[in-house]
Amino acid sequence: MSLHIEAKPGDIAETVLISGDPKRARHIAETMLTDSSCFNEVRNMHGFTGSFEGKKISVMGTGMGMPSTAIYLHELMVDYQVKKVIRMGTCGCIQPGLELGHVIMAMGASTDSNINRSAFNGFDFAPLADYALLESARKAALEMGAETTVGNVFSTDLFYHPDDSKRYQVWMDHNILCVEMETAILYTMASRFGVSALSLLTVSDNILTKASASTLDRESAFTDMVQIALKIA
Ligand code: HPA
């Protein structure tokens, strides 16, 4: 048991799939895993462990944004010795040609957050995906016939920003594919604690055209991303 997770030792698998929304974690556990059981109900941040093709896998919510995600990642990595974390998230794309539902694999994560600088004496750490995991995800996607894009993403602290129309221009100009809120801290903490990590992101919003997927569309658009995550888990 840790401060925010009530699981007993051994209840959580070495591989954990994370999602901001704990309801999505429940949905994946109920529809994709066999023999799943819930290991955490603290703050309704549900986590489940079950098996997929004979392999023990956990899936858990983290909440939105880096501060919430960092709490759960710390406890998973330090108190429960988790070794592999795959994020299944949503993002708003800021490059033309990326449709709603498209899957992005985050090779690196830029950020407007001070959360990393405070840990690196004011300097900038480059948060990167685990290369082997990224390569196997790409291979799994190719085998499934799922089109994916690999590149740099932007992890922001603010979903709503007073300067919304202008703030993404410089990131667009530097080939950032999309905006989300968790990957930079995931990759930094994975480096710190010797964990392999990869962030998979389904485009749920287009920040350029303001198109947005309905809740229902979001759920079905996740299928490719979840399949890729399970294949490399
Ligand atoms: N901004 C930040 N995070 C997001 C977005 C967005 O537009 N869409 C999905 N996650």
Is the distance from the beta carbon of residue 185 to the nearest atom of ligand 1 less than 6 Å? no
Q: Are 226 and 32 in contact (CB under 8 A)?
A: yes
- pTM, two decimal places: 0.96
Q: Kindly give the distance from the C-alpha atom of residue 159 to the centroid of ligand 1, in angstroms, as a whole number.
A: 6
Please choose from 91, 176, 208 the residue to mutate so as to test ligand 1's pocket, defined by most ligand atoms within 8 A of CB. Answer: 91
Per the model's pLDDT, the better-predicted residue between 50 and 161 turns out to be 50
pLDDT band at 219 (very low <50, low <70, confident <90, very high): low
pLDDT in the model for residue 220: 64
pLDDT band at 153 (very low <50, low <70, confident <90, very high): very high
Residues 6+ positions from 203 with CB-CB distance below 8 Å: 90, 91, 92, 93, 98, 99, 100, 101, 102, 103, 104, 178, 221
Tens digits of residue pLDDT in 165-218: 789 999 999 999 999 999 999 999 999 999 999 999 999 999 999 888 887 677
Structure tokens at 179: 């905006």
End-to-end CA gap in the chain? 24
Q: Which of 21, 124, 164, 205 is catalytic?
A: 205
Is 79 tagged catalytic? Answer: no
Domains of the chain: 15-232 (3.40.50.1580)
pLDDT in the model for residue 216: 64
Tens digits of residue pLDDT in 106-122: 999 999 999 989 999 99
